[in-house]
Structure 1
C-alpha cells in the first residue's frame, strides 16, 4: 500500500514569499489498483508523483510504501524497493540497444534474450524487431514509452508511476499504450499511478484522484468521481467534456 500523509512542498517565489505547491496532501492507495491522478494544469500532480519517486524532497509530511517510511530515502533506494517512474518524455540512448537497457533494468548482465523478448511482448512490441535496435531518435514516442514500460517490468516494479504517458505520441501508439496499461492491471502485476487528462486512460481507472491547488479535491471510485469532473468541466468546453459527448 502507498500511504501519503499530510504531504507539503513549498518553494519561494521571486519576492521571497512562500508558495505552496503541495498543501497537506493525504492519500491511501491499495495494492494492485490502477489510480489516475487528474486535475487542472499547475495543480501539483507532477510534483506529487515526483515526491513519491524521490525526485523532489517534500517540506512536510511523510510517504510510506508497504509500511516503510520512504520520505528520506533516495531514488535508488526507492527503485530497489520496487518503485519506478515513467517520464512524460523518456530519454533516448544513442548507442544503447533495447536489450542492453533491459539488462540494466533487471540488474543482470546475462539476461537471456528470450526473457528480454518476453518483456517487450508484454508491452505490445514485436520482440525480435526491437531487441537489437538502439534506443535513439529512430524510434517513435510511443515505441520509446513502451520500451520504458518494459524496463519497469524487468525491474519487477511493484509501484509504477507514469506522468502523462500520452504526451507527444500518435493515436496508434496511444491505443497500444492504453492496451498495455490494461494488460498490466489485468495481470495484477503492480499498482499503477498514472497522471492523465485523457478520458480513455481515466476509464481504465479503479479510482480517480483530482488534485487542485495542491490539494486533493476529489478521490474515489471512477464511477463516482468522473461524472463530477464532467459536471465541473461542461461549462468550460474542455477536452474531457467534448470527448464524453462523442
Structure 2
C-alpha cells in the first residue's frame, strides 16, 4: 500500500531558498491511498501538478511537508535509489539516451542479471522479437517508439511493486498506444503491480481502475472516467465567459 498523507510541495518563485509569500504551491495538502495491484491514471490541466506528484512519490522532488508511507514504512526521506530498491520504479516522459551504452547493458543492470534467456523473456513482454535489438546503442539514432520500449523493458525488469509512468505515449505513434495500454494492464494483473500513469490520453484513462483528476495541486475528482467526463469537458482549452466574447480574445486561453 502507498499512502500520501497531507503532502505539499512549494518552490520559490524567485529561486530563493527560504519560504516566502511569493513561493508557488504546486501540490497542496494532498492525501490519497493507492491500493496494491490497482491501475491508476492521473490527469488534469497542464501545470496542475500531475508530474510533480509522480516525482514526489519517486523522490525526484523533495516534499515541503507531509509524508509518504509505503508498506507501513515512512519513505519520505529515502533517496531515489532507496525507493527503487524498495520496489518503486519510474518511467520518464522523455527517457534518457546514453551514448556508448547498449540496451543489453541497461537491461542487465535493471534485471540484476546478464543471463540472455532472462533478457529475451523480458524483451518479448514489450513486443521486441529480434535478439539483435539488445545490442542497439541507446542513443539519438533510436526512434521514439524504440526508446519507449527500452524504458518499459527496464521498468518491467525490476519487477516493481509500484510502477509510475509519466506520459508514456509521448513521442510514439497512435498505433503503439493500444499495445502499450495492454502491456501495462497485463503487467499489473500478472504481477499485481500498482500502476500509476500520468496521461491526457483517453486510452489510459479508460484502462484505469481509478482516475485521479488533479487541479491546482489538489485531487478534484477520484473515480471512473464516466464520472470525470463532465469535469474534463469543463477544463477545455477555451472557456466562454464574460472575458471571452471575441474570437481572438487572448484571455480565452488558460
- Name the TM-score, length of structure 1 as normaliser: 0.89
Matched, 1:161 2:164: yes
Residue aligning to 2:146: 143
Kindly provide the CA deviation profile for residues 198-230 of structure 1, in whole angstroms up to 9, marking residues without a partner as x: 1011111000001100011011234433x3334
- Is the Cα contact below 8 Å between 2:36 and 2:192 reproduced in 1? no
Between the two proteins, the alignment pairs up a number of residues equal to 234
SS of structure 1 residue aligned to 2:213: strand
Residue aligning to 2:2: 2
CA RMSD of aligned residues (A): 1.9
Shift of 1:232: 2.4
Please identify which structure carries the higher strand content.
Answer: 1
After TM superposition, the structure 1 stretch with the greater mean CA deviation from structure 2, 179-188 or 88-97, is 179-188
Q: Tell me: CA distance 1:234–1:138, structure 2 relative to 1, closer, same or farther (3 Å).
A: closer
Residue aligning to 2:23: 18
- Is the Cα contact below 8 Å between 2:30 and 2:219 reproduced in 1? yes
Matched, 1:182 2:185: yes
Residue aligning to 2:252: none
Out of 68, 92, 98, the residue aligned to residue 73 of structure 2 is 68
Shift of 1:235: 8.8
Residue aligning to 1:242: none
- Is the Cα contact below 8 Å between 1:62 and 1:71 reproduced in 2? yes
SS of structure 2 residue aligned to 1:173: helix
Unaligned runs of 5+ in 1: 238-246
Residue aligning to 1:106: 111
Kindly provide the CA deviation profile for residues 128-187 of structure 1, in whole angstroms up to 9, marking residues without a partner as x: 141222212222112211211111111121111011111122223333322322321232
- Name the TM-score, length of structure 2 as normaliser: 0.86
Q: Tell me: CA distance 1:119–1:81, structure 2 relative to 1, closer, same or farther (3 Å).
A: same
Residue aligning to 2:249: none
Unaligned runs of 5+ in 2: 240-254
How far apart, CA to CA, are the structure 1 residues paired with 2:210 and 2:230? 13
SS of structure 2 residue aligned to 1:184: helix
Residue aligning to 2:50: 45
